[in-house]
Amino acid sequence: MKIAINGFGRIGRTILRQILTRPQPGPVDVALINDIAPLDMLSYLFRYDSIFGPYPGEVRTGAETLEVGGHVIPVSHVDDLSRVDLSGVDVLLDCTGVARNSDVAARGLTAGAGKVLISWPSPAAEVTVVLGANEDRLGNARIVSNASCTTNALAPLLRVIDDLAGVERAHMTTIHCYTNSQPMVDAPRDDFARSRAGALSMVPTTTSAMRLINHVLPELAGRISGAALRVPTASVSSVDLVVQLARPMPHDTFGTALHTAVRATSVLGWTDEPLVSSDLRARPESLVIAGPELRMIGDRQARVFGWYDNEWGFSARMLEVARLMTAAPQG
């Protein structure tokens, strides 16, 4: 699989780390990194990461190349990717956060890439795909969104529970680490609460996952509500889901069935240990269910809690969806 990475921020750098440090089911050739920041800054931020630690190998720069892990990767610095030659690239991973309209999203195609995968919820995508929930809808789409980290955590869990006992209604709260959408000191933002210093307070806010769930799992549209609470931690988030089951199941039966179903998926995990958020750093699953936190009231209401590394797990899904896109016929 031949890819290019447009935008070498948190997700772009994490994707490259995974290519270089995690076993992949097949070779991944990174044909280009594009980012408007200077090359020495990009190299520095890849080498020294405050969340994942230093890269375990040598990182050097050449004449507009990043040399790492035995790879010499060309680097460009254009704000319009259509000016770059991406001929032969199977999938462009757009990690810029700016592909909000079809013209911008299609620049990778104009440059010669076969397909584009966007690393956030974008209205420009032909389809939004979440592994473990609706990958059967991928088809032959050329511009695809990988949704959001929280949607990747929630949608496969809802799919599993709906298959087991039916979801009559549910409410999800994501307890989410702060991100660079929040200021580190009080500063104006569109949302008053999110204008406050992200590392000093718990901040109640919204989550795009609620809108996306209606697209990813249309059969559950209108039955799921949710909210977010941003908390002063730098990585790893969680999903706290309370669900009203359509069909009654005793606690032991539901717990055993959920454990079995989760283990059968490729994107969900399970732990019976009393873990805290930092224990889940760099876990590749979309969501790791915490078995000790499972609760039921009667035989129809269940509470399910799980952890997700909102950067590492999401980046793992980006690579897996890109592989699915290369396997699909070119449009």
| Active site (annotated) includes residue 149 | yes
Q: 277: which residues sit within 8 A by CB, 6+ positions away?
A: 177, 233, 235, 236, 237, 238, 307
Distance, in Å, from the CA atom of 285 to the CA atom of 108, rounded to the nearest integer, reads 28
For residues 84 and 34, give the distance between their C-alpha atoms in angstroms, rounded to a whole number: 9
Whole-angstrom distance, CA of residue 164 vs CA of residue 246? 10
User: Do 90 and 179 reside in the same domain of the chain?
Assistant: no
Per-residue confidence (pLDDT) for residue 163, from 0 to 100: 98
Residues 80 and 16 placed together within one structural domain of the fold: yes
User: 279 and 158, same structural domain?
Assistant: yes
> Could you tell me if residue 140 is inside a domain?
no
Same domain, 190 and 43: no
Range of 20's domain? Answer: 2-124
Q: What is the pLDDT of residue 48?
A: 98
Does 77 share its domain with 173?
A: no
137 lies in a domain? no
Looking at the structure of the chain, the number of domains it has is 2
Yes or no: say if 183 and 197 are a contact pair by the CB < 8 Å rule.
Answer: yes
Do 49 and 107 sit in the same domain of this protein? Answer: yes
Task: From the candidates 4, 149, 236, 258, give the one annotated as an active-site residue.
Answer: 149
Comparing CA positions, the residue from 267, 263, 265 lying closest to residue 312 is 267
Backbone angles phi, psi at 127, to 5 degrees: -155, 145
Running along the chain, 331 residues long, what does each successive block of 10 average in pLDDT? 98 98 95 98 98 97 94 96 96 94 94 97 96 96 98 98 98 96 95 96 95 95 97 98 97 96 97 98 98 97 98 98 87 51
CATH code, 167: 3.30.360.10
Pick left, alpha or beta for residue 312 (phi over 0 → left; psi -120 to 50 → alpha; otherwise beta): alpha
**pLDDT digits 0-9 by tens, 99-128:** 989 999 999 999 999 999 999 999 999 999
Order of strands across the sheet that contains 115-118: 59-61, 65-68, 71-76, 29-34, 2-6, 91-94, 115-118, 143-145, 127-128
The CATH number linked to 89 is 3.40.50.720
User: Does 327 reside within a domain?
Assistant: no
Global confidence as pTM: 0.96
Same domain, 182 and 299: yes
Q: What is the pLDDT of residue 69?
A: 86
User: Within this chain, do residues 198 and 75 fall inside the same structural domain, yes or no?
Assistant: no
Q: 65: Cβ–Cβ under 8 A, 6 or more apart, which residues?
A: 72, 73, 74, 75
Angle at 179 between CA 175 and CA 181, to 5 degrees: 120
pLDDT of residue 203: 97
For residue 265, is it within any domain?
Answer: yes
Between CA 186 and CA 182 the distance in angstroms is 9
**10: Cα within 13 Å, side-chain hemisphere:** 18
Is residue 172 domain-shared with residue 290, that is, in the same domain?
A: yes
**Is 24 domain-assigned?**
yes
Does residue 90 sit in the same domain as residue 227? Answer: no
The answer to whether residue 259 sits within a structural domain is yes
User: What per-residue confidence (pLDDT) applies to 329?
Assistant: 67
In a shared domain, residues 225 and 119? no
275 shares a domain with 170: yes
Domain C-terminal end among 79, 108, 124: 124
Total count of residues recorded for the chain: 331
Flag whether 155 is in a domain: yes
In a domain, 138, yes or no: no
Sorted by sequence, the CB contacts under 8 Å of residue 221 that are 6+ apart come out as 213, 214
